Amino acid sequence: MFWAIQNRSGLTGSGRQTQEIDMNQSNHSKHRPLKVAVVGATGAVGKTLLTCFEQRNFPIATLVPLASGRSAGSSVRFRDADVAVAEATPDSFAGVDIAFFAATGSLSKSLAPEAVARGAVVIDKSDSWRMDDQVPLVVPEINASALDDHHGIVACPNCTTIGVVMALEPIRRAAGLERVVITTLQAVSGAGLPGLEELEQQNQAWTEGRPASVSQFAAPIAHNVVPVCGDFLTVPGIDGVYSSEELKLRGETRKILALPGLDVSMTCIRVPVEVGHCATVLIETATPLAIREARRSLADFPGVRLIDDPQQAPTPREVAGSDEVWVGRVREDLSGSRIWLWEVSDNLRKGAATNAVQIAEEMMKRGLLDSRD
């Protein structure tokens, strides 16, 4: 196994090169500094988590970067030091306050209960726990109070779902929701670093006139769009198959909004964009809602950036790197009774890492991480 520990400061053998890094200073909050594990620290979401910790001054005393056996032995950069990545095992979580899981569903399924058994709170980005009745599925701006009922694991929604529900919730609060029709356009980083690498390699092949090598997606994604995200699944009583991403979007939207009967119709499409998921959303409200009121609700909602100029619309290239969900093209449907909008969010940040860190911050604020105090 190749051990890629690097010390970019040039100081070999310093204490900053150990597997765990001590940080006793934080101006983030009054909360005591925490021992924080990140499972999947070398992946696209894991790396973004580390960036979010730094940018938000998250109160970390000790960082424990973990990964599957394949990636263990490499290192990650955190607060100007290289930190070695260990293989995630049950004992990795000894003394850990919070474990962020940004890894495969199967790793989460097996290890999250082990982390909880050792006293950690798990904030999980996989799809393993989201629809579990015992697990809160949380977007803090929308349903933070669901955290109060946690049993050790809190689920972070799918990256596509988060952007969509952030755009729906302000409308729901203003006039209720009856029905939504959604088409998503999803970036390749929704499939992690392998998705990013596949797009880059296929773009290179296109330029050189070579055929595309396909492994991450159902068809070549460079210079193309592919109307499949994830695997196909059957739905009892329904003629036809749905992609796993589509069923997540529907089920998670209903759970987060606590609207189990909401009529959600959707098609999910992969597009050759590096970062930034988009959606067209057609909304039927429960009671009539003027467009100016819809715009005001969106503008006032924390975490939403409304592009209020009707002739402007956000795109993934400009939204990448932002923690906000950008909403534009808010307009009356030509039927006169529905609302169209266009939503873009950074799938690695608000769609994943930022939302996970916000969950942790909200749990601190609610005193839900104080059991070890």
Q: Which residues bind a second copy (CB under 8 A)?
A: 181, 183, 185, 203, 207, 218-220, 223-228, 232, 235, 237-242, 250, 263-265, 267, 269, 271-274, 278, 280, 282, 290-292, 310-311, 313, 315-318, 328-336, 338, 340, 342
Q: How far is the CB of 358 from a second copy (least distance, A)?
A: 26
- Cα 177 to Cα 156, 160, 171: the distances in Å are 23, 19, 7
Residue type (1 letter), 142: I
The Cα–Cα gap between 267 and 257 comes to 20
**Residue for token pair 């460079």:** 222
Q: How far is the CB of 215 from a second copy (least distance, A)?
A: 16
Identify which of residues 132 and 318 has a Cβ nearer to a second copy in the complex.
Answer: 318
Choosing from 31, 229, 277, 278, the catalytic residue is 277
Choosing from 31, 52, 150, 159, the catalytic residue is 159
| Residue 277 appears among annotated catalytic residues | yes
**Residue for token pair 């909880």:** 116
Q: Which residues pair with 98 in a beta bridge?
A: 36, 121
Q: What length is written for the chain?
A: 373
Identify which of residues 1 and 290 has a Cβ nearer to a second copy in the complex.
Answer: 290
Residue-by-residue DSSP string for 145-185 = GGGGG-SSEEEPPPHHHHHHHHHHHHHHHHH-EEEEEEEEE
The answer to whether the Cα torsion of 307, 312, 316, 320 is positive or negative is negative
Classify residue 371 by its DSSP letter.
Answer: T
Identify which of residues 270 and 350 has a Cβ nearer to a second copy in the complex.
Answer: 270
CB-CB contact of 71 with 104 (8 Å) = no
Residue type (1 letter), 104: T
Identify which of residues 209 and 336 has a Cβ nearer to a second copy in the complex.
Answer: 336
Residue-by-residue DSSP string for 30-51 = SSPPEEEEEETTTSHHHHHHHH
Q: How far is the CB of 318 from a second copy (least distance, A)?
A: 7
**Residue for token pair 């196994």:** 1
| Residue 268 appears among annotated catalytic residues | no
Q: How far is the CB of 135 from a second copy (least distance, A)?
A: 23
Nearest to 37 by CA among 82, 102, 133: 102
Identify which of residues 80 and 308 has a Cβ nearer to a second copy in the complex.
Answer: 308
Identify which of residues 128 and 186 has a Cβ nearer to a second copy in the complex.
Answer: 186
Q: How far is the CB of 335 from a second copy (least distance, A)?
A: 6
Nearest to 318 by CA among 281, 273, 280, 269: 273
The Cα–Cα gap between 23 and 15 comes to 12
Estimate the share of the chain in helix, then strand, then coil, as percent rounded to the nearest 5.
35, 25, 45
Identify which of residues 151 and 317 has a Cβ nearer to a second copy in the complex.
Answer: 317
Catalytic residues: 159, 277
